[in-house]
Structure 1
Amino acid sequence: MAANTVSLKLLVDTASQRVLFAESGKDFVDFLFNILSLPTGTVTRLLTKHEMVGSLGNLYDSLENMNDTYILPSANKDTLLNPVVSNNTANVPPLLPTIESSKPSGFYRCDNSYRLKGCSFYVATGSKSICPSCNSVMSQSATVVNPKKDSSTDEGGYVKGVITYMISDDLSVRPMSAISCITLLNKFNVKDVGVLEEKTIDVGTDEGVKLLKASLQSKAVLTDVFVKKKAGESDASDYAGSHSIVI
C-alpha cells in the first residue's frame, strides 16, 4: 500500500522566491506520471467545476444536467462523467482524493465463436452487439487476461526505485546528476549560492490537487504550489524543514 504523503526536497532561490528544482524518489515521480493517465472527466471532478481551466467545467456540467431523452440509447453519460481510471495505480501514492468511477461494461464474444472460426476474431463491449461474421448476438462473456508480471522485478507504478530524480519547476523529470544541477544553476544565472535554500516538505492530498491544477495552468508549478503563499500564511505551515545551502 502506497503512503499517503511523500517527502520532497526543494532547492529554492530565496532572492527570486522560485523553486529551481525538486529532488525526489520513485513515489513522487510515479504520482506525476500518473496524472497523464487521468481521463478529462476525472480531472474535472477532482478540481471541481469552478476551478477548471477554460470551459471544461461548463462542458461537464452540461452533460451532467442533460436529460437522458437527448442521449443516444447506446451511449452512457457515466462513462464520460465518471470514467474508468488506469489500473496501473496500485503502488502510486494516493495524493489525489478517491472518486468513484464507472464500472467497465465488460467484453463479449459471439455465441458461435467456439464453432465458427470467423466469429472468434471479434469482441464487443455490449452484450447486445451483432457479430459481423454470422449476425448472431454477441452475448458470450469474455475474460480479459493481463500480461504476466515478474514479481521479483516489478515495483509497480512507472519508474524504477533506488534512483533519485530531479523535477524542474515546469515538471520536466530526469535522473539526478551533478551536471544537471550545474546546468540548471547556469540557466537561471545563479551567482550567489548563499541565496539558495533547501526545503523539505511533505506532499499530501491537498498538495496533490494543487499540483494537478497548476500543471494545467503554469510553467512554474512547484513555485506556484510550494513557494507562493497567501497573505498571512507563515513559512512554518508550508515546510517541514529548511536550511541554507553552504558550499
Structure 2
Amino acid sequence: MSKSQESTIEVKLFVDKKKKKVLFAESDKEFVDVLFSFLTIPLGTIVRLLDKQSQMGSLDEIYKSVEDLSADAFQTKACKAMLLRPLNAASGHFSSLKINIDDTRPRAAYVCINMNCRAPGDRVFSSFPDAVCKCGKTMQYVGNVSEDDGNLAPAGEDLDTGVFVKGLMRFIITDDLVVAPASTNLMLSLLQQFGVRDPEKLEETIVQLSSQQITGLLKRSLMSKHPLTELYFDIATTNDDADLYVLPKQLYPEQVSDGDQKLNSVKIKILQKKNNSSLLYVEAGAEFIDLLFGLLSIPLGSIIKAYGQWPSNGCTDNLWKSVDGNAKGCMRPERESLLVAPKSAPFGCGATKILQVDELDPTLDINCCFKCFKTCGFAKLGRCHEKTRFSTYMYCQEMVKSTKLYELNPKLPKDGRGNGETYMKGEQLKFMVTDDLRVLPLSVSTTIQFVSDAKMKMEELLEREITPTKFQVMEIQKAALISRNALSSVLLIPDKKIKAER
C-alpha cells in the first residue's frame, strides 16, 4: 500500500497552545480499539516494532541476546521464533482494526503432511514455524487458526460494534490515556481540572494518525504520562530509571508470606566487587535465562496485571484500568479478558509461571478428519463432508468427521533428549548475564575481557553463589522493564536500602 493509500484514524485534540499541552482527545471506537490493542501485544513484539530502541529498561538487550545467540544454544529452532515473534492471543481479531501495528501472523497451525508418518501422538500441530515432527519431518503451514466468532457480530448486536468496544459511542481520552465514554459531565470536569475558564480559548484540531504515529504513541505511552502531548508537539521522550528501592505497597501482595521461598532449580553465581559497589556479571544456567528471555513472550496487559501497574514511568496501566473502570460499560464482555488478562502461548516458561500468566489451550478442535486436514488444511475443511447424490462421502471415507489436535511442545527436540521446559539447552551450557541483561555464552576469554574493561584487580573481586527467592526474581523481572542496572539494583544492597532496613 502506498503512503497516499495508507489508512489513518481521525482524532480530535483539544489543545492549550499557550501551555503546549493536549488536554484530552475525542474519538470514535476505531482509535480506542487500537489503544486497547496495545495491551495484547507481547513485550518481544513491542521491542521489535520499536526497532530494538524501546528504551524499556533492559528489554532491548534481552531481545538482541536472543537474536545473537547461536541456534545451537537453544533446545530447538522453534524456541527462537517463540521469543522473537511471540504469539499474540488476540491477533485473530486484529484484521478488524483500522490500523494494526502488530504485524505478527495470527496463531497458525503447522502439521506433518507426511501421510506415512507413524510418529507417536500423530494428531499433533504446532503454532510455530520450524517445529519438527517426531518422524523427523519439518511441520508445514496449513493455515491460521480461526476465532470462534470470526468477524461476525453475535445475534442482536450492532454490526458497527468495534473489536473491543461496542456501539457507535464517542470517547474521551485524556493525555495520560484514561478512556471513558464522552459526556457533558466528564467534559466539564476535565475543563475544571485543567483550570479552563473559557473553553473558546482551547484549540480544537483534527489529526489523521498513521500507523507510524500510532507506533510512536505506543512508545510514548510506555515512558511518559503525556503521550498525546508529546506526539502532537513532537517532543522527544526519555526514560530515566525509576526508584527501585521503594516498592509500592500494592505490588506482590501474595509474596508477603513466601518472601523466603527459594527457587531451588535456579542457582546463580555473582561476580562483584568486594565492597558491594558494582556487579560485573552473573553466571547462570538455562533456568535463570528462561526467567529473563520469557519476558519477551508475555503480553503488556499481563505484565500490568501481575504488578498492579506499569512499573515504568508510562501510562499504559491507565488503559488497562479503563477496561474494567471508566470504559467498562462500553466494552464487549466476551473480549475483556483479552485485554485485562491476555494469555501467552502454550508451553511457556518460568517467567509466565512466576508472573502467573495464563496460557492458551494447547488443543484444537477441527471439523474434519485428520487425514483431510493434513491434505487441505483450513482452506477446504468442507471437503471431508462432501457427499454424492447417493449420500455417500465423495472424497473421504472416514466416518468420524472431527478431530482433536494436540499442540506439540516446540521446545522438545525430536530426539527427546531435552527437558522440553526451558528455551536453552540445560546443563551443557552456562551463560554470562551483564547488569543490563545482555546474555552471552560463558567463556574464559570473555571473563578476562570483562574484568579488564572494568579496570579491576583480581583481589577486589568476590564470587558468591545464591539461590534466588521468588520475590527476588519478580524484582529482577520488574527491574528489567525499567532499569539498565537490573541485576545490581536487586542483587546488590544499596546504601539507600540498608538505611531503610535499619
TM-score by length of 1: 0.71
C-alpha spacing 1:194/1:103, structure 2 compared with 1 (3 Å)? closer
C-alpha spacing 1:75/1:127, structure 2 compared with 1 (3 Å)? closer
5+ residue gaps in structure 1? Answer: 109-118, 130-138, 231-247
CA distance in structure 1 between the partners assigned to 2:80 and 2:106 by the alignment: 10
Partner of 1:193: 199
TM superposition shift of 1:73? 3.2
TM superposition shift of 1:186? 1.2
C-alpha spacing 1:195/1:229, structure 2 compared with 1 (3 Å)? farther
- 1:111-150 matches, within 5 Å, as 125=126, 146-148=147-149, 150=152
- 1:155-170 matches, within 5 Å, as 155-170=161-176
Partner amino acid, structure 2, of 1:91: S
CA distance in structure 2 between the partners assigned to 1:199 and 1:90 by the alignment: 29
CA distance in structure 2 between the partners assigned to 1:75 and 1:62 by the alignment: 16
1:91 to 85, 96, 101: 96
1:183 matched to 2:189? The reply is: yes
C-alpha spacing 1:107/1:170, structure 2 compared with 1 (3 Å)? farther
Q: Deviations over 1:175-210 (max 9, x none)?
A: 000100011111112234343110111011221111
Partner of 2:20: 17
C-alpha spacing 1:103/1:179, structure 2 compared with 1 (3 Å)? closer
Determine helix, strand or coil for the equivalent of 1:10: strand
Partner of 1:205: 211
TM-score by length of 2: 0.37
Structure 1 residue ranges, 4+ long, deviating more than 4 angstroms after superposition: 100-103, 105-108, 122-129
Q: Which has the larger radius of gyration?
A: 2
2:180 to 155, 169, 174: 174
C-alpha spacing 1:101/1:184, structure 2 compared with 1 (3 Å)? same
Determine helix, strand or coil for the equivalent of 2:12: strand
C-alpha spacing 1:180/1:218, structure 2 compared with 1 (3 Å)? same
Whether contact under 8 Å (2:29, 2:162) holds in the other structure is no
Whether contact under 8 Å (1:41, 1:80) holds in the other structure is yes
CA distance in structure 2 between the partners assigned to 1:105 and 1:37 by the alignment: 20
C-alpha spacing 1:73/1:95, structure 2 compared with 1 (3 Å)? closer
Determine helix, strand or coil for the equivalent of 1:167: strand
CA distance in structure 2 between the partners assigned to 1:183 and 1:229 by the alignment: 27
TM superposition shift of 1:145? 6.6
TM superposition shift of 1:20? 1.0
Partner amino acid, structure 2, of 1:209: T
CA distance in structure 1 between the partners assigned to 2:84 and 2:92 by the alignment: 18
Determine helix, strand or coil for the equivalent of 2:79: coil
Q: Deviations over 1:22-80 (max 9, x none)?
A: 00011101110111111111111111113432211111000011011211238511111
Higher relative contact order (CA 8 A, sep 6+): 1
Determine helix, strand or coil for the equivalent of 1:174: strand
C-alpha spacing 1:87/1:210, structure 2 compared with 1 (3 Å)? same
C-alpha spacing 1:105/1:62, structure 2 compared with 1 (3 Å)? farther
C-alpha spacing 1:104/1:218, structure 2 compared with 1 (3 Å)? same
C-alpha spacing 1:75/1:205, structure 2 compared with 1 (3 Å)? closer
Decide which structure has greater helix share: 2
C-alpha spacing 1:225/1:214, structure 2 compared with 1 (3 Å)? same
CA distance in structure 1 between the partners assigned to 2:87 and 2:105 by the alignment: 5
TM superposition shift of 1:160? 1.7
1:223 matched to 2:239? The reply is: no
Instruction: Choose 143-152 or 221-230, whichever is displaced more.
Output: 143-152
Whether contact under 8 Å (1:95, 1:208) holds in the other structure is no
CA distance in structure 2 between the partners assigned to 1:101 and 1:45 by the alignment: 14
Partner amino acid, structure 1, of 2:197: K
CA distance in structure 1 between the partners assigned to 2:77 and 2:228 by the alignment: 43
Partner of 1:4: 7
